[in-house]
């Protein structure tokens, strides 16, 4: 894409003396043959090459200039700020002959007080800032100078290192809003995934900078008109004028980088400050790119769900460099037409929806070769997807790396199939292929065979090199982020990230929910997939195998009322460093004579009430009680940000133990609340077992026993409430906890009381 929108020509004139000894000599020595004169003049001969009323470059009144040697060390004595008058300024220096230098420039408006330009290697975007300040516009460039000649004259083009983000409405929308009592006078925005440190030395975001969320505070909206190219036929752009609602400059990436995505929260205020948009308006995954304008235009006041995104390249009238993210209005549909080669080239949401509508039974064989030509935004609307319970897609769909985003599918009224492609099948004699497609921000709900891209596939069908981001898929069973079910098909080289899979019965997985015999599945990867599972389904998945082993393969968030596992004999729970969230009863019910081992498991964000069967012994997040013989072992087990309430006792790992032995290693309780009448503790409320606790901690936790213990011993302790057998602590720490005993003092900061046995603390 061309980068020639805003230009400031830097022609240099001036003189600079330099020596090889010091910066002082460099500045003060007379001109000799050992030095090179360099002349830099900032100016434009043809005016600013932009159609934008706002962002035309006329607001810059200062240029910061800095010189660096060949090693990148700044020659600080040469740093200067020059005035810009009629878009011209002069910077004069002398350089040591035979040396190499880099000269960096940053043009800005000093009255805006938007940037700290003390060091051009780390220009700081000041925060907070007001919204709608045109003076925040700025421009930058650097030139490399080889001082091997007597005189240097360089022309330098300055480019905007920011993206300009504009929001606007047409006159009809504005008039309708005024009639409804809304006259917008001020606005603010909050944007994510932007930066606040920039280096003019290498024309890039500072390498150590991390993306941040920035708020541009409420301020008067611009009075100028926003000019946007809305309609185009590929060569000619038709410019339309809109009323500004917001204008801001965002630091989003390095020179030459492609667009990035930001979430935008838009807040407006009425002219008399009596009204605002509540709830505020949110735009997700808006593309922004440095030196480009992103224009969000549409019904932002009366129907903010309807909007278009238009991106102008380099602020100049070059429609061949512009691109548009097409946003569907939720209704329009167009029947696509094949080109001369028989290829259906989809370039609008209307064509995509039209093809979906025409793919239902019995018209399911019309489109054999489909190519997606652009990103398509479905505006958060509900669509039906390709095919249905009887109809299917049968052909080749090549996304070409483009995305389909922001849509919902609800197929909960039928038994099978839900997805962008509800059902795909091989019917025409050639393979059915879905490939190179990206889906973002989708919600797909169905019963069985449910996936974001494909619900069910069978026969000679292929789903390959597809990606799903930030999406939610819901089903009873056979559910995956990409594909719900395949029978004989191929699912390969797909990827899913930041997705949520909800299911109530069984057969769910990160990419493919259920694989039937004869299918080929390979090369699929994923990151950060969250499983939201019914309590019933989780209980089924946590059934011990023939060896008495329960193995967790993923993290779970539980919905519904959890029924504690009833276990007996010898059982091992292998958590594999996974987390269970949201249970409201102990993970394992109280029992007697069990030998239980729990490894590498975390329970978090759970509110655990009094156990259904306490037998007067207690409630804990992991195991309520072991009331005779048996053994209990906990290794690398953790309770985090949870609350446990007991009737008799409350704890994280074990409320009451009469096991022959309890072993606790590398366990923790952090940011929890453990409360009961008869006793409470971080790890074990009451132990009548030989107990060892090693390399464990309790931090920032509230432990409380509410029984009146006036003139009695305490029942609550940070680690153990009551010690009634030989107990050993090795490298056990407590910090930031609040331990409450009603009317009594605890034995120590770790133990409520010692009834019998020996407590050893190492």
CATH number, domain at 103? 2.60.40
Which pLDDT band, with edges at 50, 70 and 90, does 219 fall under?
A: very high
Which of 134, 157, 180 corresponds to the end of one domain? 157
Residues 473 and 503 in one domain: yes
Cα separation, 749 vs 75, whole angstroms: 59
In a domain, 276, yes or no: yes
Among 65-74, 271-280, 648-657, the minimum mean pLDDT is found in 271-280
Residues 40 and 90 in one domain: yes
Q: Is the pLDDT of residue 571 over 90?
A: yes
| Residue 723: predicted pLDDT | 96
Q: 682 is written with which tokens?
A: 């971080």
Cβ atoms of residues 483 and 493 within 8 Å = no
In a domain, 4, yes or no: no
Domain residue limits at 293: 163-327
**What φ, ψ does residue 249 adopt, rounded to 5°?**
-110, 130
| Residue 176: predicted pLDDT | 86
Q: What does the mean pLDDT of the chain come to? A: 84
Residues 638 and 522 in one domain: no
Task: Give all strands (DSSP E) within 159-259, no chain letters.
Answer: 163-169, 184-194, 197-199, 204-205, 212-220, 225-232, 237-250
Choice between 26 and 490, residue whose per-residue pLDDT is larger: 490
In a domain, 337, yes or no: no
How many C-beta neighbours within 10 Å does residue 116 have?
A: 12
Among 236-240, 336-340, 602-606, the minimum mean pLDDT is found in 236-240
Q: Is the pLDDT of residue 682 over 70?
A: yes
Which of 506, 535, 564 corresponds to the end of one domain? 535
H or E stretch including 664?
strand 661-665
| DSSP-H helix ranges across 90-191 | 171-179
Average pLDDT over residues 23-34: 43
Contacts of 345 (CB under 8 A, 6+ apart): 336, 339, 371, 373
In a domain, 262, yes or no: yes
In a domain, 332, yes or no: no
Which pLDDT band, with edges at 50, 70 and 90, does 138 fall under?
A: confident
Contacts of 179 (CB under 8 A, 6+ apart): none
Residues 547 and 603 in one domain: yes
Choice between 755 and 506, residue whose per-residue pLDDT is larger: 755
In a domain, 336, yes or no: no
Cα separation, 128 vs 676, whole angstroms: 47
Contacts of 681 (CB under 8 A, 6+ apart): 650, 651, 674, 703, 716, 717, 718, 719, 720, 721, 752
Average pLDDT over residues 581-592: 91
| Residue 257: predicted pLDDT | 63
| Residue 433: predicted pLDDT | 93
How many Cα atoms are found within 13 Å in the side-chain-facing hemisphere of 105?
A: 32
Among 25-34, 531-540, 734-743, the minimum mean pLDDT is found in 25-34
Q: What's the number of domains the chain is made of?
A: 4
H or E stretch including 722?
strand 720-724
Which pLDDT band, with edges at 50, 70 and 90, does 279 fall under?
A: confident
Residues 121 and 93 in one domain: yes
- Residue-wise pLDDT tens digits, 308-320: 544 433 444 333 3
CA 334 centroid distance within chain: 34
Residues 252 and 315 in one domain: yes
Domain CATH number, residue 551: 2.160.20.110
Which pLDDT band, with edges at 50, 70 and 90, does 232 fall under?
A: very low
Among 252-261, 431-440, 571-580, 685-694, the minimum mean pLDDT is found in 252-261
Residues 529 and 547 in one domain: no
Residues 211 and 320 in one domain: yes
| Residue 52: predicted pLDDT | 40
Q: Is the pLDDT of residue 177 over 90?
A: no
| Residue 745: predicted pLDDT | 92
Residues 30 and 153 in one domain: yes
Q: Is the pLDDT of residue 547 over 90?
A: yes
| Residue 236: predicted pLDDT | 36
Which of 157, 183, 209 corresponds to the end of one domain? 157
Residues 130 and 178 in one domain: no
| Residue 717: predicted pLDDT | 96
Q: Is the pLDDT of residue 57 over 60?
A: no
Residues 262 and 390 in one domain: no
Q: Is the pLDDT of residue 275 over 60?
A: yes
């Amino acid at each position: 894409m061309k980068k020639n929108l805003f230009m400031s020509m830097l022609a240099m004139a001036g003189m600079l003396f330099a020596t090889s000894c010091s910066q002082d000599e460099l500045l003060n020595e007379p001109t000799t043959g050992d030095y090179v004169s360099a002349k830099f003049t900032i100016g434009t001969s043809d005016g600013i090459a932009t159609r934008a009323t706002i962002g035309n470059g006329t607001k810059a009144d200062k240029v910061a200039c800095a010189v660096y040697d060949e090693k990148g060390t700044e020659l600080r004595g040469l740093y200067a700020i020059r005035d810009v008058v009629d878009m011209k300024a002069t910077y004069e220096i002398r350089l040591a002959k035979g040396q190499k230098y880099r000269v960096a420039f940053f043009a800005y408006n000093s009255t805006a007080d938007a940037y700290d330009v003390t060091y051009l290697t780390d220009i700081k975007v000041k925060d907070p800032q007001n919204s709608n300040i045109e003076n925040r516009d700025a421009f930058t460039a650097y030139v490399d100078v080889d001082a091997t000649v007597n005189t240097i004259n360089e022309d330098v083009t300055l480019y905007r290192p920011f993206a300009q983000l504009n929001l606007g409405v047409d006159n009809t929308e504005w008039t309708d809003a005024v009639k409804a009592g809304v006259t917008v006078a001020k606005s603010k925005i909050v944007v994510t995934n932007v930066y606040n440190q920039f280096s003019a030395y290498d024309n890039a975001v500072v390498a150590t900078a991390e993306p941040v969320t920035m708020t541009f505070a409420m301020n008067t909206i611009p009075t100028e008109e926003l000019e946007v190219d809305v309609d185009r036929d590929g060569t000619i752009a038709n410019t339309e004028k809109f009323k500004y609602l917001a204008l801001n400059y965002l630091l989003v990436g390095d020179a030459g980088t492609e667009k990035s995505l930001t979430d935008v929260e838009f807040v407006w205020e009425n002219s008399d400050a009596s009204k605002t948009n509540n709830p505020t308006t949110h735009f997700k995954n808006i593309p922004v790119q440095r030196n480009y304008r992103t224009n969000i235009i549409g019904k932002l006041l009366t129907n903010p769900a309807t909007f278009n995104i238009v991106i102008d390249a380099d602020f100049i009238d070059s429609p061949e460099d512009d691109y548009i993210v097409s946003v569907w209005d939720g209704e329009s549909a167009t029947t696509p037409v094949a080109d001369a080669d028989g290829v259906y080239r989809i370039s609008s949401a209307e064509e995509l929806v039209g093809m979906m509508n025409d793919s239902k039974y019995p018209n399911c064989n019309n489109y054999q070769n489909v190519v997606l030509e652009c990103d398509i935004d479905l505006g958060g609307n509900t669509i039906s997807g390709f095919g249905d319970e009887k109809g299917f897609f049968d052909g080749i769909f090549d996304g070409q790396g483009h995305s389909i985003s922001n849509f919902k599918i609800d197929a909960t009224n039928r038994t099978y199939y839900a997805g962008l492609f509800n059902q795909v099948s091989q019917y025409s004699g050639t393979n059915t292929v879905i490939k190179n497609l990206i889906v973002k921000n989708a919600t797909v709900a169905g019963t069985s065979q449910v996936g974001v891209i494909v619900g069910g596939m069978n026969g000679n069908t292929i789903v390959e090199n597809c990606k799903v981001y930030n999406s939610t898929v819901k089903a009873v069973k056979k559910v995956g982020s990409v594909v719900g079910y395949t029978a004989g098909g191929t699912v390969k080289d797909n990827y899913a990230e930041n997705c949520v899979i909800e299911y109530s019965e069984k057969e769910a997985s990160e990419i493919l929910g259920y694989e039937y015999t004869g299918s080929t599945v390979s090369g699929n990867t994923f990151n950060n997939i969250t499983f939201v599972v019914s309590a019933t389904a989780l209980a089924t998945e946590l059934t011990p195998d023939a060896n008495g082993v329960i193995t967790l393969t993923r993290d779970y968030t539980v919905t519904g009322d959890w029924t504690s596992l009833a276990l007996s004999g010898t059982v091992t729970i292998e958590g594999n460093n996974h987390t269970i969230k949201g249970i409201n009863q102990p993970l394992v019910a109280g029992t007697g004579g069990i030998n239980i081992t729990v490894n590498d498991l975390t329970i978090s964000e759970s509110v655990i009430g009094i156990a259904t069967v306490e037998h007067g012994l207690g409630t804990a997040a992991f195991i309520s009680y072991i009331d005779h013989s048996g053994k209990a072992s906990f290794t690398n087990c953790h309770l985090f940000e949870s609350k446990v309430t007991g009737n008799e006792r409350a704890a994280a790992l074990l409320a009451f133990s009469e096991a022959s032995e309890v072993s606790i290693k590398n366990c923790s309780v952090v940011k929890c609340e453990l409360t009961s009448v008869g006793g409470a503790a971080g790890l074990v409320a009451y132990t009548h077992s030989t107990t060892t606790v090693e390399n464990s901690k309790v931090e920032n936790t509230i432990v409380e026993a509410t029984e009146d213990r006036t003139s009695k011993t305490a029942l609550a302790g940070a680690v153990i409430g009551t010690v009634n057998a030989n107990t050993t602590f090795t490298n056990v720490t407590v910090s930031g906890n609040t331990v409450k005993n009603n009317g009594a003092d605890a034995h120590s900061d770790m133990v409520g009381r010692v009834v019998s046995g020996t407590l050893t603390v190492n």
